Chain A
Amino acid sequence: MTPTPRDYSLIGRDAALAEANGIAAAEWYSCPIERKQLKELMKRSDGPALRDTAIWIAALVLSAAGGIYFWGSLWAVPFFLVYGVLYGSSSDSRWHEAGHGTAFKTRWMNDVLYYVASFMILREPTVWRWSHTRHHTDTIIVGRDPEIAVPRPPDVAALLLNIFALKSSVTTLKSLFIHAAGRLKPDEATFIPEMERWKVYVVARIYLAIFAAVVAACFWMGSILPAMLVGLPSLYGGFMTIYFGLTQHAGLAEDVLDHRLNTRTIYMNPLFRFLYWNMNYHVEHHMFPMVPYHALPRLHQAIKDDCPEPYPSTIAAYREIIPTILRQLREPAYHAVRHLPDGKTPVPYNHGAIINPAE
């Protein structure tokens, strides 16, 4: 891979630069919205997530049952396709929303969903809770955000491997062994507080124990069926995770303090919105992360006049993302520019920081 002119690690040159430039843990732009309306939008309830989770679990059970029933024939393929996407892709949005504590009003329900969905998407819950916290503090700030999906120049091979979560899973497996041994990686130590670290080690051991049990079950049955139900769906069903996930920020500006410039809102069909739990309203989510997924369409209506034109479809977003990524292979500094509506400009304080990247 061509050496990157930016240092995306959290302990390197650009981490120090972000602090020096005043763009670490900085103040971000928020679209104006009446407090009363925002309070209404922030209101929590258990109903929508209970309904959606019941549908999700029922679909998981039915598709798994079909896959088991038809195991050994081609008829099993469509069932495992559905099961895989529900398990390995839609768990991403469940993990995400429950991690914010906004899916349900009742806290323990968020916690249960968070831990189950974390396992399904093959993420370590404590590590990712803290990495995602940092992602919200420093969205696409180089050297600060641990969740920049497409560093520049892009690693296309890694992106292709991650269509089936191959690179990310290998990284996670390596991390599990490190964590199970009671250690953190240096980057992780920058965002996981001391008092939370024991959880990382315990959960890593539990994950490894579950995987060992699944492997043992496969040997015992002489079949990979157990792994098709637990573990492998994170890989074979993971393709929608990257399909949705790349649309959030890939190819947009780095080091800005305005989510309208580094995040996409995309109109998606109802099925995608169910699988993705409305995270297509991603500008809205980043700007007001305490608004639950089911209220994001209403929040979008409230602030859309202050935001760039949403993308009409996921395909439309990819018409921008793919050429941008390919161009960044040659020109790492290039990015797609989001245009604010006429008469709207980024708030002056967002230009107060002196952006002085090392490139």
Chain B
Amino acid sequence: MPEQWFDACDTDDIDQDDVIRFDHEGRTFALYRTEDDRFFATDGLCTHEKVHLSGGLVMGTIIECPKHNGRFDFTTGKAKGAPVCVDIATYPVKVEAGRVLIRLA
């Protein structure tokens, strides 16, 4: 099956050290930009109680959920302790011509 890349947003749509929400075909994702301009993507909802991570706080490569302060490393999807116990899915991201592309398949 060929790789499927989807155009998510402009690089400038995400501030450095921040996260935005990206919805696509009934699914929701979180797109991250680090302070050194690297881009990452994870599922949009916290694995703990399905809260949108786009409302959370980015600290380095950590995203903190806005509801219960659960944390993930968004570069690996690794849960970083209670109340999140289940890792979050990550997706490959690339930047082409100022656009952020996310691979969903």
Contact = CB atoms under 8 A, between A and B. Distances in A.
B69 A137 contact: no
Nearest to A199: B82
Interface string A112-141: 000000000000001001100100110000
Contacts of B65: 290
B18 interface: yes
Interface stretch (B22-30, B35-43, B56-64, B92-100): B56-64
Contacts of A39: 18, 57
Mostly, the A contact residues are: helix
A101 B49 CA distance: 18
A263 interface: no
Nearest to A36: B15
Contacts of B64: 101, 290
Interface string B61-75: 000111111010000
Interface residues of A, number: 24
A233 B1 CA distance: 66
Contacts of B83: 129-130, 133
B63 to A, nearest CB: 11
Contact of A196 (B49, B50, B66, B85): B85
Given A25-B49, A44-B59, A290-B57, A136 B85 contact: no
Which 10 residue pairs of A and B lie closest in terms of their CB atoms, listed nearest first? A42-B57, A133-B83, A101-B69, A133-B68, A100-B69, A290-B66, A290-B57, A193-B85, A195-B85, A290-B69
Interface residues of B, number: 19
Contacts of B71: 101
B68 A137 contact: yes
A137 B49 CA distance: 8
A137 B67 contact: yes
Nearest to B64: A290
A289 interface: yes
A289 B59 contact: no
Interface in B45-60: 48-50, 56-57, 59
A63 B40 CA distance: 51
B43 to A, nearest CB: 17
Contacts of A290: 56-57, 64-66, 69
A100 B56 CA distance: 13
6 contacts: A101-B71, A130-B83, A133-B68, A137-B67, A288-B66, A290-B64
A102 interface: yes
B69 A289 contact: yes
